Amino acid sequence: MWKRKRRIAALVQGATLLYLPFLTVGGESALRFDIPGMKLLFFGKVLPISEFHLVLLGTLAFLLLTIAVTVVFGRIWCGWLCPQTVIPMLASWAFSAFPARWRRAGTTLFLFLLSGVVSFSLIAYFVPPAEVAGLLFRSRMVAGFLLAQWAVIFAMLAFIGPAFCRTVCPYSMLQNILFDGNTLTIAFDRSRKEECLRCDMCVKACPVGIDIKEGARRECTACAECIDACVAATGQKGISPFLGYGGTILRPKAALLGGASAAAVMAFLFLLYTRPAVALLVQWEAKVPEANANSYRYTVRNDVGKPLALALRLDGGGMIYGDKDILVGPHARKTGTVIVRQEGSMGGSVTFVAEGNGISLRRKAGFP
C-alpha cells in the first residue's frame, strides 16, 4: 500500500529535519544560519554572505533541482514530503489504534505538541542549539518567535490543512507550468471507464475532496490515498485497480534537467569544499597624508574549529603599522586596518604575509 511507503518517507524526513540543527560537525551546527555573523554553517564549512558567488550558485543549484524533480516526479513534495500533508497523516496513524471517541482529541493534542517541537527545532536553525533553551527564558523575542511559530504551525496542521493546498499554495500553482505529458501523476485508466465500480471510494479517501476520475486537478497532492482505496475495492472483486501512477521518468527532458541540476549541485559542493580553511583578503583603502603611505583593510577567515593567532608582516621592503596581531576565533572572521609606508622601491605593489599556528598566508595588493 502506498500509505505505508509514505509513512516511512515521512518518518525519515521528519527525524532528519528535527535532528539536523542539533547535529554538530567540527564543534558547530551541521546546518545553521548565523544571523549576527551573516554566515551559513554547512556541514563543517562556513559560507559568509559576502561570498555572493557561492550563495548565488547554491541558490541556482537548489532551483534547478526543484524544477527537475517537479518536471519528472510531479507532486512528490506535496504528497510525500510536505509537512502540511504528512504530519496530519502521521497523527491519524498514531491514534488509529485508540478507541474512536478518543481519536479526534488525541490527534489534535498530538499535533499541538508536535507543533511545539517543530517550532523549537526551527529556532535552532538560527540560534546555537545549546543556547535555545536558555534564551527562551531570557529573551522575549526568542520566546515570542517560538510561541508565534507554534500557533501558526498548529493552525496550519489542525485547522487549515488541505484548504491551503487547494487555494493559495504558490508551489502548487507553479507545478501547473512545469508539468508535461510525461510527468508522473496519478491517473484514471479511461480505457476501462465502463468497468469502474462507481463506488466512489477514491473520492471519499481523497484528503482534498476531488474526483480524480474527472482528470488531473491542481488540488491533487499525489498522496495516493485514492490508489489505495481503489486497490482495496477492486481487490474484493478480483480485478486490477483503475487508478495508478502514470508517466515516464527516462526521457530526454528529464535527462537534461537532471544533468543540469546535478552539475550545479556538484559545482557548488566542489567550490565550497575546496575553499581553503583559512584565507587572507587585503583591500586598499586610501592614501594617507604622509608621503608614500597607504591604508589597507584586511580580513582573515577562519573555518576551523579552533582560534588562530597570526602576525601580519610585509614580504620585502616597507614598514607596517596598526593591527598587526590577529586573533580570530573558530568559524569566524577578523577585520583590521594597517598602514604601509614605503621604503625604497616597492614596484607599485606590496605583499602581506600572515603567519602563525603553522599557517602562512600571502596576499598581494597595489601600492599606488
- Domains and their CATH numbers in the chain: 2-246 (no CATH), 278-366 (2.60.40.10)
Higher pLDDT, 165 or 243: 243
- d(Cα 312, Cα 7) in Å, to the nearest integer? 57
- d(Cα 38, Cα 73) in Å, to the nearest integer? 35
* Across 108-130, average pLDDT: 90
Q: Which of 29, 37, 2, 8 is nearest to 333 (CA)?
A: 37
* Model confidence, pTM: 0.73
Q: How many CB atoms lie within 10 A of CB 289?
A: 5
Q: How many CB atoms lie within 10 A of CB 14?
A: 19
Does an H or E element contain 328, and which? Answer: strand 325-328
Largest CA distance in the chain: 98
* Across 107-122, average pLDDT: 90
Length, in residues, of the chain:
368
**Torsion sign over Cα 283, 285, 289, 292:** positive
pLDDT over 80 (residue 218): no
Query: What integer pLDDT is reported at residue 244 of this predicted model?
Result: 92
* Across 27-31, average pLDDT: 86
Query: What integer pLDDT is reported at residue 345 of this predicted model?
Result: 58
Torsion of CA 67, 163, 221, 19, to 10 degrees: 70
Higher pLDDT, 192 or 291: 192
DSSP state of 127: S
CB crowding 118-156: b at 16 or more within 10 Å, else e: bbbbbbbebbebeebeebbeeeeebeebbeebbeebbeb
* Across 51-76, average pLDDT: 88
* Across 321-345, average pLDDT: 86
Query: What integer pLDDT is reported at residue 346 of this predicted model?
Result: 54
**Torsion sign over Cα 321, 325, 331, 332:** negative
- Residue 354 CB partners (closer than 8 Å, separation 6+): 280, 298, 300, 310, 311, 312, 326, 360, 361
Confidence grade of residue 25 (pLDDT, cut at 50, 70, 90): confident
- d(Cα 198, Cα 34) in Å, to the nearest integer? 56
> What is the grid cell recorded at 118?
517543530
